[in-house]
């Protein structure tokens, strides 16, 4: 293990490379990365890096976003099969048809989409800034929000905006909606509950909290929002409703606290596809480059730049 870590670090220096890892990556990848974060944070790092090579340890749409933001960099993904169930719920043709049904509407696309979908959008958002982006759009404008219906319902509820919402979902977060929170509350009565807005339970908890329990200890956050909350919280017990990969980072930040996933089965198999061996091979041979065609990249850069300007 130490040998491959040493080789990755050597290659990184030799090639002037930076390793970006999402919060859902396996612990070994998070530990060797230069930056670990959510989609927004990693996009910001990709935009400002001085590295010649960006190795994106995440899923394919994230590497595409880095390629769009930094067209002069070589962007690598250690496993090109690392896709996203949410991103696959809509393609550019479907979006174009939807736009024709709602002429003049503003298209707000979650960053969990393909480059082609971004190119047909007006704004991109992440779970960190979706509310702020929607609030920045004139109230008289109709909004088409895609593809995650749970994040869309959450944003609509917080902002009070009447939005058309695409019927997509992350297969991991959607399953969390089936969790019995009464049971979780009984097991951890003193815990803070941190819930990702992509979860099937997020809107129900926020709008119909009395169906579950007193929501005073429930907080809806992006993954980076969870990180920041734990840093500042005095609590010593947290129940986490998102992909379990984030627990590794939380434990590193505040090891004296206890962390419990709402479900041990909240695992994204795509996020777990990248290993140290694949990272090493990708960096060694500079293989699996992700390069968005310039015509698409130019159009997609507009909504991404708007996203990055609203934080």
Tens of pLDDT, residue by residue over 190-223, are: 899 998 888 766 555 554 443 334 456 888 888 8
> What stretch(es) of the chain map to CATH 3.40.50.10800?
2-84+271-291, 87-168, 172-261
- The answer, yes or no, to whether residue 113 has pLDDT greater than 70, is yes
| Overall average pLDDT of the 64-77 stretch | 94
- The answer, yes or no, to whether residue 70 has pLDDT greater than 60, is yes
- The answer, yes or no, to whether residue 3 has pLDDT greater than 80, is yes
Buried-state track 42-77, b at ≥16 Cβ within 10 A, e below 16: bbbbbeebebebbbbbbbbbbbbbbbbbbeebbbbb
- The answer, yes or no, to whether residue 140 has pLDDT greater than 50, is yes
Annotation: CATH topology of 87-168: Rossmann fold (3.40.50)
Task: Average the pLDDT over each of 22-36, 159-173, 180-194, 262-276 and give the range with the smallest value.
Answer: 180-194
In three state form, how does the secondary structure of the chain look? CHHHHHHHHHHHHHHCEEEEEECCCCHHHHHHCCEEECHHHHHHHHHHCCCCEEEEECCHHHHHHHHHHCCCCEEECCCCCCCCCCHHHCCHHHHHHHHHHCCCCEEEEECCCCHHHHHCCCEEECCCCHHHHHHHCCCCCCEEEECEHHHHHHHHHHHCCCEEECCECCHHHHHHCCCCHHHHHHHCCCCEEEECCCCCCHHHHHHCHHHCCCHHHEEECCHHHHHHHHHHCCCCEEEEECCCCHHHHHHHHCCCCEEEECCCCCCCCCHHHCCHHHHHHHHHHCCCECCCCHHHHHHHHHHHHHHHHCC
CATH classification code of 172-261? 3.40.50.10800
Distance CA 85, CA 98 (A): 20
Tell me: the pLDDT tens digits for 17-29?
999 999 999 999 9
Closest CA to 85 of 246, 267, 222: 267
Residues in binding site for [4Fe-4S] cluster: 84, 170, 268
Residues 134, 136, 139, 140, CA torsion sign? negative
Q: CA 171: distance to chain centroid?
A: 13
What local confidence, expressed as pLDDT, does residue 207 receive? 45
pLDDT above 70 covers what percent of the chain?
92
Residues in binding site for iminosuccinate: 22, 39, 110-112, 127, 196-198, 223
What local confidence, expressed as pLDDT, does residue 211 receive? 34
Closest CA to 170 of 81, 77, 88, 64: 88
What local confidence, expressed as pLDDT, does residue 127 receive? 83
40/110: higher pLDDT: 110
| Overall average pLDDT of the 284-302 stretch | 96
Site of tokens 């944003």: 155
Q: What is the pTM of this model?
A: 0.88
- The answer, yes or no, to whether residue 9 has pLDDT greater than 60, is yes
Task: Average the pLDDT over each of 102-106, 139-143, 169-173, 232-236 and give the range with the smallest value.
Answer: 169-173
What local confidence, expressed as pLDDT, does residue 311 receive? 65
Residues in binding site: 22, 39, 84, 110-112, 127, 170, 196-198, 223, 268
Distance CA 120, CA 300 (A): 7
Superfamily, domain 2-84+271-291: NadA-like (3.40.50.10800)
What local confidence, expressed as pLDDT, does residue 122 receive? 97
What local confidence, expressed as pLDDT, does residue 132 receive? 93
Tell me: the pLDDT tens digits for 234-246?
999 999 989 999 9
Calculate the alpha carbon distances from 143 to 102, 162, 180, 245, 255 in Å. 9, 8, 33, 32, 42
Residues 87, 90, 91, 96, CA torsion sign? negative
Under 8 Å between Cβ of 18 and 35: yes
- The answer, yes or no, to whether residue 160 has pLDDT greater than 60, is yes
Calculate the alpha carbon distances from 2 to 37, 46, 166 in Å. 24, 27, 46
What local confidence, expressed as pLDDT, does residue 222 receive? 87
Distance CA 235, CA 190 (A): 9
| Overall average pLDDT of the 46-54 stretch | 93
Reported confidence tier of residue 181, pLDDT bands at 50, 70, 90: low
| Overall average pLDDT of the 273-278 stretch | 97
């Amino acid at each position: 293990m130490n040998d491959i870590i040493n080789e990755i670090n050597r290659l990184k220096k030799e090639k002037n490379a930076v390793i970006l890892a999402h919060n859902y990556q396996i612990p070994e990848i998070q530990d060797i990365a230069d930056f670990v974060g959510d989609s927004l944070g990693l996009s910001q790092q990709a935009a400002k890096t001085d590295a010649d090579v960006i190795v994106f340890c995440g899923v394919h749409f994230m590497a595409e976003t880095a390629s769009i933001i930094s067209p002069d960099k070589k962007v690598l993904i250690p496993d090109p099969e690392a896709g996203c169930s949410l991103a696959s719920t809509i393609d550019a043709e479907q979006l174009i048809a939807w736009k024709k049904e709602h002429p003049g509407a503003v298209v707000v696309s979650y960053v969990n989409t393909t480059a082609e979908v971004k190119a047909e959008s007006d704004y991109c958002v992440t779970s960190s800034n979706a509310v702020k982006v929607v609030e920045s759009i004139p109230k008289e404008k109709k909004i088409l929000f895609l593809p995650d219906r749970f994040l869309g319902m959450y944003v609509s509820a917080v902002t009070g905006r009447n939005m058309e919402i695409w019927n997509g979902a992350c297969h991991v977060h959607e399953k969390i909606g089936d969790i019995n929170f009464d049971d979780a509350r009984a097991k951890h009565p003193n815990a803070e509950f941190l819930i990702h807005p992509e979860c099937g339970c997020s809107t129900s908890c926020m709008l119909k909290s009395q169906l579950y329990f007193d929501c005073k200890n429930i907080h809806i956050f992006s993954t980076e929002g969870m990180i920041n909350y734990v840093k500042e919280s005095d609590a010593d017990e947290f129940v986490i409703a998102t992909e379990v990969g984030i627990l590794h980072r939380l434990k590193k930040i505040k090891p004296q606290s206890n962390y419990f996933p709402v479900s041990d089965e909240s695992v994204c198999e795509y996020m777990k596809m990248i290993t140290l061996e694949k990272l090493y091979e990708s960096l060694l041979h500079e293989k699996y480059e992700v390069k968005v065609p310039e015509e698409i990249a130019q159009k997609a850069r507009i909504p991404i730049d708007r996203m990055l300007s609203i934080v």
